[in-house]
């Protein structure tokens, strides 16, 4: 099923991201567009509240403020890798890599589905990733990071 | 059993004993002492660093090959770490930065103003939504001083300045090669193991169809050591073959060669055993140089054979050999007082070896089969110099005065770096912009804060000087951290909490989060000083390798320099800071100074030894004028030799001095035989034996002088010139003492 969740090379999906943290009275919200490059990287073009274009690979993330702006290439911190890997692998439909890196636990019943991904890497202990969807459509990615940060990424597909 | 066979049996027995008991010590500290800068260079992380450049015009091909080789390297036990791509900071490292943020990036006073605190908290909120900062945003929120963010930003900027990357592999700046950085395991340096590892690595690259360049202190040391070993072995083989040929030519019958070879062989084995028993091991310097000095023992049987004409002659020759050997042995024994283990061992080695060799030669001469030397030497009458003693004294004075005027030998090295390695270093320098290997500024301190404050002070001065004049480019740990104040001031946690209390809501944060922020502030505020034990993961940060390390109970943070055109000016600037924790280091001069100190100490103790030897000679011969003639002759010839070898090389080095000890030993023997001749026959025999011995010595040492190894060349040239000088000086006589009718 995960293999069917991928975004095609020419497709894009609008997203809304909410970040919850103990320091915040209400979540921080961002909006943008997700896509996949031909090289299998996840392209995240955040438009609101400020522009940030990031291309997430397996070891590096490149970040720039505008399409023409200078690129800042950063190695992905170990603690953040499972989160970015989960997003990238789900969007590219790489079910094999997901099975290698995560324990996949189906949760819930009903018209929708809920899958929990638990990173196998002990460095990311405490992180949990939830995938929620309906049929062959992924609608929400929910990530709980160590330190009490919770991210909810809602995919807003065009009907 | 013939005496020769008995001696051979004894020599074999001693040799076997020595072989079984011998423990060879190769630690340079035995020679240069405990100077960590010089002797431990191969044991630091930088000393164990290797850079492999995989050269190929195709970036894809070389990068794929590099990735493949890096993968296999990571599994080898000799390798501690392989770095290809820039590494992401580990969780452990980020935790460390978080704990020590006020040491690495102390917040300026302005960071505690309400405006700055609010601005920093808003920035932290925004970081929650950034792909690059998401992992750090939680800590940004807990540190409104911005200290952690500034430290991370500065260190990230340092990574960005690193080498270009292709397919996750760092590339040379001139786009000619893919690079792999290797840190070898913390094992003692072993030439054979290192050479095998290097050769295997290079062959892997070549098998992949690319060219390889492998540079690192241990790789260079292994290559130089192997080069020296090969050349030395070749020189020794050529010298041995020539010596054997020479002895076959001059000895009659040729089988008498055993009589000549046995004394030095027995002396060598006995000396090795004596040093082993006395010191618990034999230093390689004692074994090598002591062994070369024992070549002097080859002269003893030659002198004895040359004086076998009559019973009186024979007795005189035995006495002269015994006196000569004892004089030289006493002179060398004095080296035990130098306090330098390796040099003390050389003294004991030579003294015991010469004594055993002389005893063996005398014993064999009394009991051996008839043997003689071919009469090749011309019959000569002494060349009389009526004022020889004052002339020698004046000559010695002139030589000594000229030697005194020679400039200090600042470029003295233990070994010469072959041109191939120099070229390879230059090539690598164009690839990764290598800093000076000779000059650096060492900043030390007991805590990280002390080191960083000193570096900040140094950086300030260097910046001022650089703006006014051409000054070397520098790089230091402090460059990769935010600019700091010399003495930052922090408000107390209570005062900080009070300032912050009304600001959280203004920054869009929950006011209840104040407790978390204050607790984080207090933890960083109260952290104990970061000494060597606390350095931990910071030492191994990939972006700044080698810029700080633990050295015993202090921290050492070298400041790298590029293109140092005027080292004296840099030394002056650094000296002007008057801070003992900031020192300009000229690595070459440090080694030269170490060798100069060694030379001075060896010279002093050898001088005392020579005085003791002269005293012994005086007691043994009881003719003051003859002893004065021998001693002055040795002094003048020795000084002349020092002058002749010192002028072209810019001064007299430690290896010249060591070789001069052999020259003096040889000179004493020549002086005894030539100066104590009492008639034409004796003089003729003495001339013959001295010329024969000189020729034998020259064969061995001239071969050494052309070996291509700088140390051997220095020794070979010194002994060769010295031997000729000794023959000339002792060949001339002050006056002829025997009656006219004898002539």
- Please list every residue in chain A whose beta carbon sits closer than 8 Å to the beta carbon of residue B508: 24-25
Contact A25 B509 (CB under 8 A): yes
- Please list every residue in chain B whose beta carbon sits closer than 8 Å to the beta carbon of residue A73: 160, 165
Contact B160 A19 (CB under 8 A): no
| Alpha-carbon span A51 to B126, nearest angstrom | 12
By the 8 A CB rule, do A112 and A45 touch?
no
What is the total count of domains within chain A? Answer: 1
**Looking up tokens 């030539």, which residue turns up?**
B674
Contact B513 A19 (CB under 8 A): no
Contact B138 A63 (CB under 8 A): no
For residue B89, the distance in angstroms to the closest alpha carbon of chain A comes to 6
Residues 133-172 of B with CB under 8 A from A: 134-138, 141-142, 156, 159-160, 165, 168
Q: Give B278-343 as a 3 state SS string.
A: HHCCEEHHHHHHHHHHHHHHHHHHHHHHHCCCCHHHHHHHHHHHHHHHHHHHHHHHHHHHHCCHHH
Q: How remote is the C-alpha of B575 from its chain's centroid?
A: 26
Pairing of strands B439-445, B554-562: antiparallel
* B515 CB-contact burial (10 Å; exposed 0-12 / middle 13-18 / buried 19+): exposed
Say which CATH number the domain at A112 has: 2.50.20.10
Contact A75 B516 (CB under 8 A): no
Give the nearest chain B residue to A20 (CA atoms): B128
Q: Could you tell me what percentage of chain B is helix, strand and coil, using 3-state DSSP and rounding each to the nearest 5?
A: 65, 10, 25
- Please list every residue in chain B whose beta carbon sits closer than 8 Å to the beta carbon of residue A56: 131
In this complex, the residue of A22, A46, A75 whose CB is nearest that of residue B86 is A75
Q: Is B508 part of the contact surface with chain A (CB cutoff 8 Å)?
A: yes
| pLDDT exceeds cutoff 80 at B534 | no
* Residues forming a β-bridge with B743: none
| pLDDT exceeds cutoff 60 at B333 | yes
Q: Which pLDDT does position B413 carry in this prediction?
A: 54
- Please list every residue in chain B whose beta carbon sits closer than 8 Å to the beta carbon of residue A23: 125, 141-142, 509-510, 513, 516
By the 8 A CB rule, do B457 and B577 touch?
yes
- Please list every residue in chain A whose beta carbon sits closer than 8 Å to the beta carbon of residue B128: 19, 21, 24, 28, 149
Q: Is B600 part of the contact surface with chain A (CB cutoff 8 Å)?
A: no
In this complex, the residue of A72, A73, A77 whose CB is nearest that of residue B135 is A77
- Please list every residue in chain A whose beta carbon sits closer than 8 Å to the beta carbon of residue B156: 74
Contact A19 B128 (CB under 8 A): yes
| pLDDT tens string B664-699 | 888 988 898 888 887 777 788 888 888 888 988 898
- Average pLDDT, integer, range B409-421: 61
| pLDDT tens string A49-93 | 989 999 888 777 888 888 888 777 777 877 778 888 888 888 888
Contact B138 A147 (CB under 8 A): yes
- Please list every residue in chain B whose beta carbon sits closer than 8 Å to the beta carbon of residue A144: none
For residue B86, the distance in angstroms to the closest alpha carbon of chain A comes to 7
Q: How confident is the model at residue A47 (pLDDT cuts 50, 70, 90)?
A: very high
**Looking up tokens 């001022």, which residue turns up?**
B464
Contact B131 A49 (CB under 8 A): no
ipTM: 0.88
Contact A17 B138 (CB under 8 A): no
Contact A75 B509 (CB under 8 A): no
For residue A19, the distance in angstroms to the closest alpha carbon of chain B comes to 7
| pLDDT tens string B259-314 | 888 888 888 888 889 999 998 888 877 777 777 777 778 888 888 887 776 656 67
- Please list every residue in chain A whose beta carbon sits closer than 8 Å to the beta carbon of residue B137: 21, 149
Give the nearest chain A residue to B125 (CA atoms): A28
In this complex, the residue of B126, B134, B513 whose CB is nearest that of residue A23 is B513
| Alpha-carbon span B484 to B614, nearest angstrom | 66
Pick among A15, A18, A22, A23 to test the B interface (most B CBs inside 10 A): A23
> Could you please report the per-residue DSSP string of A42-82?
EEEEEEESS-EEEEE-SSEEEEESSTTSPPEEEEPPGGGHH
Residues 619-658 of B with CB under 8 A from A: none
Contact A52 B130 (CB under 8 A): yes
Residue spans per domain, chain B: 3-28+223-412+591-742
By the 8 A CB rule, do B132 and A63 touch?
yes
- Please list every residue in chain A whose beta carbon sits closer than 8 Å to the beta carbon of residue B88: 59, 74-78, 81
The neighbour count for residue B528, using CB atoms within 10 Å, is 7
Q: Which pLDDT does position B743 carry in this prediction?
A: 40
Q: Is B190 part of the contact surface with chain A (CB cutoff 8 Å)?
A: no
| pLDDT tens string B12-25 | 887 788 777 777 76
- Please list every residue in chain A whose beta carbon sits closer than 8 Å to the beta carbon of residue B131: 44, 46, 52, 54, 56, 61, 63, 84
- Please list every residue in chain A whose beta carbon sits closer than 8 Å to the beta carbon of residue B509: 23-25
Give the nearest chain B residue to A83 (CA atoms): B135
Least confident of B308-312, B559-563, B572-576, B635-639: B308-312
From the list B441, B447, B440, B443, the residue with the least C-alpha distance to B554 is B447
In this complex, the residue of B87, B131, B516 whose CB is nearest that of residue A63 is B131
- Strand ranges, E, within chain A: 12-20, 28-36, 42-48, 52-56, 60-64, 72-75, 102-107, 112-119, 128-134, 137-144, 150-156
> Tokens for B46?
């930088």
| pLDDT exceeds cutoff 80 at B339 | no
Contact B129 A17 (CB under 8 A): yes
Contact B513 A61 (CB under 8 A): no
Torsion angles phi and psi, residue B148, rounded to 5: -65, -45
CB-based contacts of B163: which residues, under 8 Å, 6+ apart? B170, B171, B172, B173, B179, B432
Determine if residue B740 is left, alpha or beta; phi over 0 gives left, psi from -120 to 50 gives alpha, anything else beta.
alpha
- Average pLDDT, integer, range B416-428: 76
| pLDDT tens string B480-490 | 888 877 677 88
| pLDDT tens string B461-520 | 888 887 777 777 888 888 888 887 767 788 999 999 999 988 999 999 999 999 999 999
Mean pLDDT over the full length of chain B: 82
- Please list every residue in chain B whose beta carbon sits closer than 8 Å to the beta carbon of residue A30: 129
CB-based contacts of B236: which residues, under 8 Å, 6+ apart? none
By the 8 A CB rule, do B481 and B492 touch?
no
- Please list every residue in chain B whose beta carbon sits closer than 8 Å to the beta carbon of residue A59: 85, 88, 168
* B387 CB-contact burial (10 Å; exposed 0-12 / middle 13-18 / buried 19+): exposed
- Please list every residue in chain A whose beta carbon sits closer than 8 Å to the beta carbon of residue B126: 28, 49-50
Q: Which residue has the higher pLDDT, B66 or B485?
A: B66
- Please list every residue in chain A whose beta carbon sits closer than 8 Å to the beta carbon of residue B86: 75
By the 8 A CB rule, do A36 and A7 touch?
yes
For residue B510, the distance in angstroms to the closest alpha carbon of chain A comes to 5
| Alpha-carbon span A12 to A15, nearest angstrom | 10
| pLDDT exceeds cutoff 70 at B42 | no
| pLDDT tens string A115-141 | 888 888 887 777 888 988 887 788 899
| Alpha-carbon span B645 to B722, nearest angstrom | 10
| Alpha-carbon span B598 to B33, nearest angstrom | 9
Contact A147 B160 (CB under 8 A): no
Residues 39-98 of A with CB under 8 A from B: 44, 46, 49-50, 52, 54, 56, 59-61, 63, 72-81, 83-84
Percentage of chain B with pLDDT > 90?
A: 22
Q: Which domain holds residue A129?
A: 2-156
Q: How confident is the model at residue A110 (pLDDT cuts 50, 70, 90)?
A: low
| pLDDT exceeds cutoff 90 at B723 | yes
In this complex, the residue of B90, B131, B138 whose CB is nearest that of residue A56 is B131
Contact B513 A80 (CB under 8 A): no
Reported as half-sphere exposure (CB side, CA atoms, 13 A), residue B494 has a value of 0
State pTM to two decimals.
0.67
| pLDDT exceeds cutoff 50 at B129 | yes
């Amino acid at each position: 099923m995960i293999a069917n969740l991928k975004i095609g090379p020419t497709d894009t999906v609008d997203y809304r991201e909410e970040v919850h943290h103990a320091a915040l009275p209400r979540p921080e919200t961002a909006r943008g567009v997700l896509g996949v490059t031909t090289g299998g990287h996840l392209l995240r073009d955040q438009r609101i509240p400020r522009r940030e274009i990031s291309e997430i690979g397996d070891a590096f993330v490149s970040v720039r403020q505008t399409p023409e702006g200078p690129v800042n290439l950063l190695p992905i911190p170990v603690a953040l890798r499972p989160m970015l890997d989960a997003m990238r692998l789900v969007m590219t439909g790489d079910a094999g890599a997901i099975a290698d890196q995560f324990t996949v636990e189906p949760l819930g019943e009903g018209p929708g589905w809920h899958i929990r991904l638990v990173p196998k890497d002990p460095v990311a202990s405490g992180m949990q990733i939830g995938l929620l969807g309906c049929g062959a459509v992924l609608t929400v990615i929910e990530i709980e990071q160590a330190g009490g940060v919770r991210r909810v990424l809602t995919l807003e597909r065009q009907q | 059993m013939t005496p020769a066979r008995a001696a051979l049996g004894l020599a074999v027995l001693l040799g076997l004993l020595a072989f079984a008991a011998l423990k060879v010590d190769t630690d340079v500290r035995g020679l240069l002492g405990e100077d960590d800068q010089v002797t431990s260079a191969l044991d630091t992380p930088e000393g164990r660093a290797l850079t492999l450049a995989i050269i190929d015009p195709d970036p894809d091909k070389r990068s794929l090959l590099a990735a493949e080789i890096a993968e296999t390297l990571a599994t080898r036990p000799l390798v501690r770490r392989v770095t290809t791509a820039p590494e992401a900071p580990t969780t452990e490292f980020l935790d460390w930065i978080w704990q020590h943020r006020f040491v690495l990036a102390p917040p300026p006073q302005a960071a505690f103003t309400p405006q700055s605190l609010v601005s920093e908290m808003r920035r932290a909120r925004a970081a929650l939504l950034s792909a690059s900062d998401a992992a750090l945003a939680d800590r940004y929120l807990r540190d409104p001083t911005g200290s952690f963010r500034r430290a991370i930003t500065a260190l990230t900027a340092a990574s960005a300045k690193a080498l270009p990357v292709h397919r996750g592999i760092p590339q040379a700046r001139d786009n000619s090669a893919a690079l792999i950085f290797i840190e070898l395991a913390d094992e003692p340096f072993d030439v054979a193991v290192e050479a095998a590892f290097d050769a295997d690595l290079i062959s892997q690259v070549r098998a992949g169809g690319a060219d390889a360049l492998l540079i690192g202190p241990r790789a260079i040391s292994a290559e130089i050591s192997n080069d020296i070993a090969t050349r030395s072995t070749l020189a020794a083989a050529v010298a041995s073959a020539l010596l054997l040929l020479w002895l076959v030519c001059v000895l009659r019958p040729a089988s008498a060669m055993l009589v000549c070879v046995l004394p030095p062989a027995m002396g060598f084995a006995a000396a090795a055993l004596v040093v082993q028993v006395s010191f618990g091991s034999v230093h390689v310097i004692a074994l090598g140089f002591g062994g070369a000095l024992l070549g002097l023992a080859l002269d003893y049987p030659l002198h004895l054979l040359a004086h076998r004409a009559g019973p009186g002659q024979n007795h005189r020759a035995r006495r002269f050999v015994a006196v000569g050997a004892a004089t030289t042995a006493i002179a060398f024994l004095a080296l035990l007082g130098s306090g330098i283990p390796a040099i003390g061992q050389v003294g004991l080695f030579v003294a015991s070896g010469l004594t055993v060799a002389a005893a063996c030669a005398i014993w064999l001469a009394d009991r051996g089969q008839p043997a003689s030397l071919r009469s090749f030497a011309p019959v000569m009458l002494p060349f009389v110099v009526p004022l020889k003693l004052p002339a020698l004294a004046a000559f010695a004075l002139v030589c000594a005065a000229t030697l005194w005027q020679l400039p200090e030998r600042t470029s003295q090295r233990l070994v010469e770096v072959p041109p191939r390695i120099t070229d390879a270093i230059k090539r690598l320098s164009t690839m990764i912009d290598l800093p000076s290997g000779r000059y650096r500024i060492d900043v030390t301190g007991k805590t990280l804060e002390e080191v960083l404050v000193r570096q900040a002070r140094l950086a300030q001065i260097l910046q001022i000087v650089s703006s006014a004049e051409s000054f070397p480019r520098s790089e230091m740990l402090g460059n990769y951290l935010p600019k700091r104040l010399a003495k930052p001031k922090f408000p107390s946690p209570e005062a900080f909490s009070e300032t912050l209390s009304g600001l959280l809501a203004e920054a869009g944060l929950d006011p209840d989060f104040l407790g978390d922020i204050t607790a984080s502030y207090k933890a960083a505020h109260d952290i104990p000083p970061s000494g060597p034990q606390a350095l931990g993961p910071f030492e191994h940060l990939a972006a700044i390798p080698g810029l700080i390390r633990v050295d015993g109970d202090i921290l050492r943070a070298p400041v790298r320099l590029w293109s140092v055109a005027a080292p004296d000016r840099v030394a002056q600037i650094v000296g002007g800071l008057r801070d003992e924790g900031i020192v300009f280091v000229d690595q070459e001069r440090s080694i030269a100074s170490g060798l100069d100190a060694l030379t001075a100490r060896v010279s002093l103790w050898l001088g005392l030894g020579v005085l003791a030897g002269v005293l012994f000679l005086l007691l043994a011969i009881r003719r003051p004028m003859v002893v004065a003639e021998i001693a002055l002759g040795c002094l003048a010839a020795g000084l002349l030799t020092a002058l002749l070898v010192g002028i072209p090389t810019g001064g007299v080095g430690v290896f010249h001095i060591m070789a001069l000890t052999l020259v003096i030993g040889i000179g004493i023997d020549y002086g005894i035989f030539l100066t104590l001749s009492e008639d034409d026959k004796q003089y003729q025999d003495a001339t013959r034996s001295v010329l024969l011995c000189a020729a034998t010595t020259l064969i061995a040492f001239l071969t050494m002088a052309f070996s291509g190894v700088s140390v051997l060349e220095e020794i070979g040239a010194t002994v060769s010139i010295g031997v000729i000088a000794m023959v000339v000086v002792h060949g001339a006589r002050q006056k002829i003492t025997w009656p006219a009718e004898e002539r």
